[in-house]
Amino acid sequence: MELRNYTYIVECSDGSLYTGWTNCIEKRLKDHNSGKGARFTRGRGPVRLRYLEIAQTKSDAMKREAAIKKLNHAQKENLIRQGELEKILARNHISI
């Protein structure tokens, strides 16, 4: 089975946005929502997936994560609006 690499943005219950990368988006979302995810999201759950990109390599996903983390909140919201999350999930058979 081929591993995919993802860069993602989740929205926390307080409205804050967290950007990360993973090779299993379903597991990562479960981790965030069970308190096992990133320190930033602990106590801010539940989180909701708002944006997802598929990267060719782990390195590409990590570089994209770093670039997105440099954006301000408004710029991230704009990226989310342009991302068409539902189409990406359907096209790649990802169920969350």
The model's pLDDT over 65-92, given as tens digits with 9 standing for 90+, comes to 999 999 999 999 999 988 777 777 777 7
Instruction: Give the pLDDT band (50/70/90) at residue 2.
Output: low
Task: Tell me the CA distances in angstroms from 43 to 21, 48, 82, one per residue in order.
Answer: 20, 14, 28
Contact (Cβ atoms closer than 8 angstroms) between residue 32 and residue 38: yes
Q: Check whether 1 has a pLDDT greater than 70.
A: no
What average pLDDT does range 1-18 have in this prediction?
A: 89
| Pairwise CA distance, residues 45 & 34, whole Å | 8
Residue with tokens 């999350």: 85
Q: What is the pLDDT of residues 20-36, one digit of tens each?
A: 999 999 999 999 999 88
Domain ranges for the chain: 5-92
Lowest mean pLDDT: which of 5-14, 35-44, 69-78? 35-44
The model's pTM is 0.87
**Could you tell me the fold of the domain covering 5-92?**
GIY-YIG endonuclease (3.40.1440)
Question: Residue type for 54, please?
Answer: I
